[in-house]
Amino acid sequence: MAAQITNYQCPNCLAPLNWQGAAEQVACQSCGTKFDASVIEQLYADKEQAAAAAGAEPAWDLIQSNNFSEEEAARMRGYVCPSCAAEIICDATTAATSCPYCGNATVVPGQLTGVLKPDYVIPFKLDKNAAAATLKAYYKGKKFLPKTFAADNHVNEIKGVYVPFWLFDGETHADMRFQATKVNTYTRGDYEITDTDYYRVTREGRVAFEKVPVDGSSKMPNAHMDAVEPFDYSGLKPFSTAYLPGFLADRYDEDAETCAKRATDRIINSTEKAFIATVREYATRTREYSQIDLKKGGVKYALLPVWMLSTKWNGKNFLFAMNGQTGKLIGDLPMDWGLYWSWFFKIAVPIAAVLAVLLFLL
């Protein structure tokens, strides 16, 4: 078996280190810094231990099953959409007449069984009137929006839905290195002189993350949920069925383990962006090295408020979603191409006629 080779680098500038027998020290070829051999050995031992610990990190601390009690389940109903298979739960007094995801007008009621009880809920802060007004304002000025799409009776079909989210906790340790430059250009006599200074920039530190949200519904486009974030966690409350009357609640179909990769990606990407943003006073910046380790923590289940309107136009689904706490919204809008071309020809034909007359006169 081949022996493992370790190339020791200077902790200051990362240049190679060489042993100097006369001084009985390790010296850097570039910056000239000298170290005792024991210091370098301990430094690399610590790095190897940290790398081994990172490779042995435990998985996310997934929650244990905690279903609704029989009494709570008796006060609730479960509905299944035969079109998109969405599973919706609500209070027994709430009428679920259509699916909030696909707009199907028929849902099939059934007894609520085997549903995981959420840890938290953020109650709706904005009512249906506020959601409808926001949607109308969003439609305003859209000249080519189909008239039936923006009709009042359609807007009033908007539904309040508690969307299932998994909330992930974790802590990252990041170590990043960059090559950077600062450029100074000035004039001396007839010459323009450019001085370029080169730097090696290092960043290291830890970032704690709490309640990173990932929606647990495959029917809800991730882009929509990202767009209506953030939610104000100061409004987070221990879950109670008292918040459900008058609203629907989606039953998650992607468990915490399935959603864990997206949570990991969000945390790693956020850490990377935060560290890169600190290297901003340079003319150029090139990343040389990046190591981000994630210490995975606990996971909780929460229902977060979203006003939704799903509709079909020419065989395509369009979804409007608004944060039921903050009012932030996103919406897919169709275009009435018949109206568009009608408008186009009304404008284009007169212009073409005027241009033809001008060309004839010339």
Instruction: With CA atoms as reference, report the closest residue to 63 among 302, 277, 309.
Output: 302
Instruction: Report the SS3 class of residue 11.
Output: coil
CB-facing half-sphere around the CA of 257: CA atoms within 13 A:
4
Peptide bond into 213 cis (omega under 30): no
The DSSP 8-state label assigned to residue 114 in this structure reads S
Interatomic CA distance for residues 145 and 224, integer angstroms: 20
Q: What is the chain's alpha carbon radius of gyration, rounded to the nearest angstrom?
A: 30
Q: Tens of pLDDT along the chain (362 residues)?
A: 333 334 566 766 666 767 666 666 777 777 777 777 776 666 666 565 555 555 555 677 776 667 777 777 777 777 777 777 777 887 776 665 677 777 776 555 555 556 788 899 999 999 988 888 887 787 776 665 666 555 655 666 788 989 999 999 999 999 999 999 999 998 888 888 999 999 999 999 999 999 999 999 888 888 888 889 999 999 999 988 888 888 888 888 898 999 999 999 999 999 999 999 999 889 999 888 889 999 999 999 999 999 987 776 666 777 788 999 999 988 766 554 444 445 444 555 456 555 555 555 55
pLDDT of residue 301: 93
Neighbours of 268 (CB within 10 A): 17
Residue among 53, 107, 66, 118 at smallest CA distance from 83 = 107
Model pLDDT, residue 170: 94
Could you give phi then psi for residue 92, rounded to 5 degrees?
Answer: -60, -25
Tokens representing residue 171 in the block: 């802590």
Is the Cα torsion angle 62, 67, 72, 73 positive or negative in sign?
A: positive
Strand partners, 237: 121
Tell me the CB-side half-sphere exposure of residue 256, using CA atoms within 13 A: 22
Which pLDDT value is given to residue 361?
55
> Among all chains, which residue has been given the structure tokens 């109903």?
77
Q: Using CA atoms, how far apart are residues 202 and 212, in angstroms rounded to an integer?
A: 27
pLDDT given for residue 182 in this prediction: 93
- The per-residue pLDDT for 246 is 82
Q: Which amino acid is at 315?
A: G
Residue 86's pLDDT is what?
Answer: 78
Paired tokens of 174: 């990041």
Question: ∠298-54-65 over CA atoms, to 5°?
Answer: 20
Q: Are strands 87-91 and 248-250 parallel, antiparallel or unpaired?
A: antiparallel
The predicted structure's pLDDT at residue 337: 43
